[in-house]
Chain A
Amino acid sequence: MPVSQLLQVRDLQVEFRTRDGIAKAVNGVTYGVDAGETLAVLGESGSGKSVTAQAIMGILDTPPGFVTGGEILFQGQDLLKMGREERRKVRGRKLAMIFQDALSSLNPVLSVGYQLGEMFVVHEGMSRKDAKAKAVELMDRVRIPAAKERVGDYPHQFSGGMRQRIMIAMALALDPELIIADEPTTALDVTVQAQVMDLLAELQRESGMGLILITHDLGVVADVADKIAVMYAGRIVETAPVNELYKAPAHPYTRGLLDSIPRLDQKGQELYAIKGLPPNLTRIPPGCPFNPRCPRAQSVCLTDLPPLYDVTDESGAPLPGRGSACHFWKEQLHG
Chain B
Amino acid sequence: MAEEPILRVRGLVKHYPLTQGILFKKHVGAVKAVDGVSFALYEGETLGIVGESGCGKSTVAKLLVNLERPTAGEIFYKGEDVTRLSGRALKAVRRNIQMVFQDPYTSLNPRMTVGDIIGEPYEIHPEVAPKGNRRAKVQELLDVVGLNPEYINRYPHQFSGGQRQRIGIARGLALRPEIIVADEPVSALDVSVQAQVVNLLEKLQDEFRLSYVFIAHDLSVVRHISDRVAVMYLGRLAELGTDSEIYEHPTHPYTQALLSAVPVPDPEARGKRERIILAGDVPSPANPPSGCRFRTRCWKAQDRCAEEVPELTVPPHLAGADGAAHPSACFYASEDPAP
Contacts and interface: CB of A to CB of B under 8 A. Distances in A.
Direct contact of A and B (CB under 8 A): yes
A58 interface: no
B263 A193 contact: yes
B265 A246 contact: yes
Contacts of A189: 52-53, 217
A257 B195 CA distance: 10
Interface in B260-289: 261-270, 275, 277-278, 281-282
Contacts of A273: 192, 195-196, 199
A82 interface: no
Contact of A262 (B52, B193, B223, B266): B223
B221 A262 contact: yes
A217 B195 contact: no
B11 interface: no
A135 to B, nearest CB: 21
Interface residues of B, number: 40
Interface string A267-279: 1001111110110
Contact of B281 (A45, A162, A242, A277): A162
A243 B270 CA distance: 10
A271 B195 contact: yes
A285 to B, nearest CB: 15
Interface in B171-205: 190-196, 198-199, 202-203
Contacts of A125: none
Contacts of B277: 194-195
Contacts of B266: 222, 246
A220 interface: yes
B88 interface: no
B258 interface: yes
B261 A274 contact: no
Interface in A173-227: 189-191, 193-195, 197, 216-223, 225
Contacts of B290: none
Nearest to B53: A189
Most buried by B among A189, A267, A272, A278: A189
B268 A257 contact: no
B160 interface: yes
Interface of B: 52-53, 160, 162-163, 190-196, 198-199, 202-203, 217, 219-221, 223-224, 243, 257-258, 261-270, 275, 277-278, 281-282
Nearest to B265: A218
Given A220-B263, A222-B264, A222-B267, A274 B52 contact: no
A222 B261 contact: no
Chain A interface size band reads 35 or more
Interface string A76-95: 00000000000000000000
12 contacts: A44-B190, A191-B257, A216-B191, A217-B263, A222-B266, A223-B267, A243-B268, A257-B191, A266-B224, A270-B199, A273-B196, A273-B199
A278 B265 contact: no
A49 B99 CA distance: 34
Given A242-B267, A246-B265, A246-B266, A194 B275 contact: yes
Contacts of B275: 194
A271 B199 contact: yes
A39 to B, nearest CB: 14
Given A222-B263, A270-B199, A277-B160, A256 B192 contact: yes
Given A44-B192, A159-B281, A272-B195, A262 B224 contact: yes
Contacts of B278: 191
A260 B194 contact: yes
Most buried by A among B162, B195, B277: B195
A277 B192 CA distance: 8
A190 B52 contact: yes
A22 interface: no
A223 B52 contact: no
Given A223-B263, A223-B267, A257-B192, 6 more contacts: A44-B192, A189-B217, A193-B261, A193-B263, A222-B264, A246-B266
Nearest to B192: A274
A266 B202 CA distance: 13
Contacts of B202: 270
Contacts of A246: 265-268
Nearest to A272: B195
A159 B160 CA distance: 33
A216 B190 contact: yes
B265 A271 contact: no
B224 to A, nearest CB: 3
